A and B are shown apart, each in its own frame.
Chain A
């Protein structure tokens, strides 16, 4: 009788489970944007080992919840063996999971199972405390009902297994000495029972355990805990492309029935986006680390993912699945989508490798290209289109400091190509036009000269890389600018570039190859660090300052350059580097990225938040390695009335520490003027890009 009933339960549970799986696959493949995730198998398997079995991201920065989850995860892995044993036991009486290795192996397994189950109960208590007693200080809602059901079921599974083993101990069919916790149960509850009661109790707990197990399996897909089932594929199919690389829209082959660009409807997402949505546990780490959310903006990256799942729940099998737009008032608002700075803090912390940022920028693309973008960034994009820089300055006037510093400009005088130089210094629009940016760019040029590097700049031939356009969602403008720059680089045979703007760097390095660029690009942090290492620049003067370093998002998180700027700073005598609480991978955005620097921001602003942290750390100077961060901090410093903290680029600190003669006397400048006039005339004639 028992095998028959059990077979029915098992068959029913599996059938129901498969129905869920196929239902999910059907939903997943209604999302049609292609996403290829089957390359680099070795890296993918490595990801599984480190992040699923090693639980690396779960443990990082969230010690309490991390340990709790680690115990639950490994407990579950082992308990699953025990539960499987129990199910088979219903068909094969006397079955032992490790019986084939001999009695001792089975005893050892029972001991481990006994201890692990106790630890899981401890973890469950930690989980309850985490949700009740321990103050989170987080401004986010949690779906507690789901958590209670799931934690309750796990608790039930543990209790019934203990009950089952304790009953067997009472019956004398399980070795008490190898099951210390179960024995205690037996002693406590079943010390004076007769055989019939013990036998009944064995069956009772057995059936409850088995039923709970299959109920759990079939509740999971409907809960926020479905990650138990999806985590392995989700981490295996993680995005291994550079994080700062956005997908290319093919404008050449637009189908006739095309409606819009970017992600507007459900079908515009990729299958991986849907898998992400069903993997999210709503833990909220992304939102905890989001600079927009942290400064009271409406964007919560977690909610973006949850909304995608809720969209399916509400519209599956209905016409709306095909017709309704997700970026709309009912689902994801424009305010949410335009609040993202694309700092990728959310993607960095997600233990399940969900790509929140990717979904945000894809939906933003839809909005912008449908003409929904308003405000100050409209002008910026118009100027990028008409002048190749965000302000609409004349490109003839790019990087005027090159005259003063006597830096050669490619294209001047004809036949002047990059082949005559080791590297080309890409100044970016800040280095070309922004007064602070110009100072930093001029400093870098002096350092390169001092180190004997043969370099030139592109001057009027350089335009914006298109980074702000792409991240604001104007893909066509980005492609126009990218192709113009690549064409210019090819024309001047540019092979290697140094960029001090991490945003330029990111586009050239990660995005330009999609448009045929083969140019090599390094950041000024990396290049200057190597010059220091090779002894070509020797910081000798002591600066005697307490300093901190701010990791720019597009340098650190996006492109993993964490050490080089620190190497430069630690090579400078007298500098004492004090790390901020939020540094390296968990650095807090300055608020400028993703084109946000060109938009008005409601108070409190992201840069205020970060600058307050810098001020509170008590340092005298903050070093940045990005012109955007510099500008944002200068701005925040004005707002808070700061007079204590100096804002410098790492290059400027490096120069301060070199033993250099007085730079650029006015006399020298006057002497050059006559020659410069000739040069600027040629400049005017150079082709405009």
Chain B
């Protein structure tokens, strides 16, 4: 079985984001970059499948030079080999073009049974690329998986997702694409020596010049910020004023019954009059 995991590098969850000087992007100075946390679930799931079935895990990352670090992290978690499609402008390429590039590369790998990716990127809150890859490849997909179950003999996968009021289970036959949600697993730690060791694993680097864009129905103008089908006008960083107001009451063993009622009344009053949200 051959699994491809799509990985993206995103700013650290704790990074303090500021807008850049032109106001339509983020200022990247001093930002720590990490493997997109939802992609981390996808890598972990792939590695667990590998541990159980002996599958081959290929990491596929797209992004500038620095994204290599993230790809190595995924390799250290247990990927067997990696492909890095790199170009300094890919960060601004829209999901349509990105998906086409990825789909083309997956076709080139050949005989891929399963594609795993995070349900969304935490930087742009976008979940478009994986599903567009599935569309490009014309294969079935299931999103936001909290549990997967593989039947190797039948070459199929059962995907469970949380839906309102219950669970949804979809069975897909290979080749298929699945996006992962928090809760599907607990990702392992990619240690520094592990990342160092990952340097020995096969890595294929593809530059944009080496890709025949015409075949994909794209031109060089479709890439980067200029070719994007959407434009970011302005980025605003919200100012958060946190305040804390502790109302007594709560655990019914420890407070008088009347106190709880009083606290509830007080809370309602505050929500209506001060927060003005009810």
A interface vs B, CB < 8 Å? 251, 261, 368-375, 377-378, 381-383, 385-387, 391-394, 473-477, 480, 641, 688
Contact = CB atoms under 8 A, between A and B. Distances in A.
B192 A392 contact: no
A246 B194 CA distance: 20
A480 B196 CA distance: 14
Interface stretch (B12-20, B102-110, B118-126, B162-170): B12-20
B16 A394 contact: yes
Q: What band does the interface of chain B fall in when counting residues whose beta carbon is under 8 Å from A?
A: 20 to 34
Interface in B72-86: 76-78
B189 A373 contact: yes
Given A369-B194, A371-B77, A641-B254, A474 B12 contact: no
B184 to A, nearest CB: 13
Interface in B228-263: 251, 253-254
Interface in B181-238: 186-194, 196
A474 B32 contact: no
A610 to B, nearest CB: 23
Interface of B: 12-14, 16, 30, 32, 34, 76-78, 186-194, 196, 251, 253-254
B191 A386 contact: no
Contact of A387 (B14, B77, B193): B14
B189 A368 contact: yes
Contacts of B196: 476
Contacts of B188: 371-374, 378
A374 B192 contact: no
A372 B78 CA distance: 10
Given A369-B193, A370-B194, A476-B196, A387 B186 contact: no
18 contacts: A261-B193, A369-B194, A371-B189, A374-B189, A375-B186, A378-B189, A381-B189, A382-B34, A385-B192, A386-B14, A386-B32, A392-B13, A394-B14, A394-B16, A473-B191, A474-B192, A475-B193, A476-B196
A26 B34 CA distance: 48
Contacts of A383: 14
A381 B192 CA distance: 10
Given A371-B194, A476-B193, A387 B32 contact: yes
Contacts of B12: 386-387, 392
Contacts of A385: 192
A424 B253 CA distance: 47
Contacts of B77: 371
Report, nearest first, the 9 A-B pairs whose CB atoms are least far apart. A476-B192, A392-B14, A386-B32, A373-B189, A378-B189, A374-B186, A369-B191, A369-B193, A371-B194
Given A373-B188, A474-B189, 11 more contacts: A261-B193, A370-B194, A377-B189, A378-B186, A386-B12, A387-B32, A391-B14, A392-B14, A475-B193, A477-B192, A641-B254
Nearest to A380: B189
A641 B252 CA distance: 12
A197 to B, nearest CB: 74
Contacts of A369: 191, 193-194
B191 A474 contact: yes
B16 A476 contact: no
Contacts of A475: 193
A368 B32 contact: no
A392 B78 CA distance: 25
